[in-house]
Amino acid sequence: MVVLKVFIASILSVGVMSSVGADSYKANFPVDAKYFGQHMHQLLASSNPTPWPTVKFGTLRLWDAYVQWPLLEPTKGQWDFSKLDKYVEMAESHGVEILLPLGLSPSWASARPSEQSAYAVGNSAEPASMVDWRNYVRTVATRYKGRVHCYELWNEVNLPKFYSGSPEKLVELAQEMYSIIKEVDSTNTVVSPSITGDSTNAKQWLSRYLAAGGGKFADVIGYHFYVTAMPPEVLPSFVSEIKAIVAKYGYSKLPLWNTEAGWRIANTDGTSEKGAPSAWKRLEPDEAASYVARALVLTKASGVERFYWYAWDDGYMGSIEPKTKVIKPAGRAFGQVYEWLVGSFLKQCVQSEALWTCRIVYPDGKQGFIAWTTGNEKNWLPPEQWKVQKIQMLDGRWLAITPNGVTLTHTPVLYVQ
């Protein structure tokens, strides 16, 4: 407690504007490797496949990985688990947990089989028959019992190109899914359908789904915290807003997972960034590394229990170069923040004007402090009370503390006692 008071006093001396801290219960548990999630599209590609990442992560969400219902059961009763089996085997061999979204209806099972979607016709509609839905859920859950433990209902349901039905109909699907998943294995985790973005529509969709009882059929609330035209520092207030909606309907005790988020990241290997939305901010390599680090730290400090980055090998949001597969600075930053946080206790982030500082407590009682500025670069000395001995840069380099301090930039650095 004394150390915490000294830390806060050192920040107050330069004028606190705001602070971000996970609730006291969760802040007393170490950061788990499963906080660090990824998406990958081309692990099993026949041409130029993506190598398994060398950076560490704890969980893999299989969206846009070509393993949803329309591809698992393209014709009623005819199953193809070859690709999903390989993903499960790869994840197991690397000690990584899978989060499997179950959404999208095959055209043959769709309530609106000729309706356009982001994928094939009919995919965004709910299934016409609950019998088909139950059979699909049970078949998948039974096949991967003891191997896949986390299931998500549907992806980005507030966007009609992904889901064109009503929240109330989705609650019916959720109830059936929850019952079956738990019946197959009571230890399985069920994640609510994800909603994306900070629009009024997104928040109204979440409210309507929870008001219809959707929270009763979930162990976790999933949300996509995309802020593609803004910096990561807006995330704490965004998270707080979603938490308030969840609490309003009585589900504040459910964990909150960021099941998808990312930014547009420039390719430097000559690959086109075709399809990138013009409204999205395009991050150059070093800026992207900074955004990755700040987003991961601030989202965790806000009390979110998982962060699934989208996507490791995406064409215009990727952490690796699409053609050469060389890891971008953003990918290396993801791995470095993993090393900074996993096993430690992230207690609080404090903002004082443009300066951000986050306090870490290690299992041995020593402390670390992550710092960056959102303003102009400046030479900065950490408070004497921190008693720091060395600095680690986001690229992994270690530097000694000097009387002149270090140049603080938008890129976070770690000060260690």
**17-26, 70-79, 173-182, 377-386: which has the minimum mean pLDDT?**
17-26
Query: What gap in Å lies between CA 154 and CA 261, rounded to an integer?
Result: 16
pLDDT of residue 9: 38
Structure tokens at 303: 């009390």
pLDDT for position 303: 96
10 pLDDT higher than 70: no
pLDDT band at 401 (very low <50, low <70, confident <90, very high): confident
Burial of residue 137, with CB atoms counted within 10 A of its CB: 0-12 exposed, 13-18 middle, 19 or more buried: buried
Show the tokens assigned to 397. 């380099």
DSSP 232: G
Distance, in Å, from the CA atom of 375 to the CA atom of 221, rounded to the nearest integer, reads 34
Helix axes 200-211, 235-248, angle to 10 degrees: 30
What is the average per-residue pLDDT within 84-98? 98
Lowest mean pLDDT among 7-16, 112-121, 224-233: 7-16
Q: What is the pLDDT of residue 253?
A: 97
At residue 17, the pLDDT reads 53
Running DSSP on this structure, what letter comes out for residue 50?
Answer: P
Say which residues have a Cβ less than 8 Å from residue 410's Cβ, sequence separation at least 6.
Answer: 287, 290, 294, 372, 373, 374
Is the pLDDT score of 3 beyond 50? no
Q: How confident is the model at residue 402 (pLDDT cuts 50, 70, 90)?
A: confident
**Counting Cβ atoms within 10 Å, is residue 270 exposed (0-12), middle (13-18) or buried (19+)?**
exposed
Instruction: Indicate whether 313 pLDDT > 60.
Output: yes
| CA gap 336, 392 in Å, rounded | 10
Quickly tell me which residue has 């609730």 as its tokens: 23
Contact 307, 334 (CB under 8 A): no
pTM: 0.94
Which are the contacts of 324, defined by CB distance < 8 A and separation ≥ 6?
269
Please write the tens of the pLDDT for every residue from 272-310: 999 999 999 999 999 999 999 999 999 999 999 999 999
Q: Which long-range contacts (CB under 8 A, 24 or more apart) does 89-98 make?
A: 90/43, 90/52, 91/60, 92/147, 94/52, 96/57, 96/58, 96/59, 96/60, 97/34, 97/58, 97/59, 97/60, 97/149, 97/150, 98/59, 98/60, 98/61, 98/62, 98/148, 98/149, 98/150
The pLDDT of 75-86, averaged and rounded, is 98
User: What's residue 12's pLDDT?
Assistant: 36
Contacts of 91 (CB under 8 A, 6+ apart): 60, 97, 98
- Distances in Å between the alpha carbon of 145 and those of 102, 130, 219, 270? 15, 22, 18, 43
As a whole number of angstroms, the distance between CA 177 and CA 184 comes to 11
Q: Each residue of 47-76: pLDDT tens digit?
A: 999 999 999 999 999 999 999 999 999 999
Q: Contact at 8 Å (CB) between 145 and 184?
A: yes
pLDDT confidence bin for 2, thresholds 50/70/90: very low
- Encode pLDDT of 128-175 as tens digits: 999 999 999 999 999 999 999 999 999 999 999 999 999 999 999 999
Phi, psi of 257 (to 5 degrees): -115, 135
Q: What is the pLDDT of residue 177?
A: 98
Question: What is the C-alpha to C-alpha distance for residues 205 and 157, in angstroms, rounded to an integer?
Answer: 8
Q: How confident is the model at residue 18 (pLDDT cuts 50, 70, 90)?
A: confident
Contact between residue 26 and residue 344 where contact means Cβ atoms under 8 Å apart = no
Token digits of residue 54? 């060398």
pLDDT at 14: 38
Q: Given its phi and psi angles, is residue 122 left (phi above 0), alpha (psi -120 to 50 degrees) or beta?
A: left
On the question of pLDDT at 238 being above 60, the answer is yes
Write out the H or E segment, with its range, that includes residue 391. Answer: strand 390-392
Beta bridge partners of 309: 38, 261
pLDDT value of residue 24: 52
Specify the pLDDT at position 405. 83
d(CA 83, CA 67): 7
- Facing residues of 406 across strands? 380
Distance separating alpha carbons of residues 262 and 355, to the nearest angstrom: 23
Strand 390-392, strand 355-361: pairing: unpaired
User: What rounded mean pLDDT belongs to the chain?
Assistant: 94
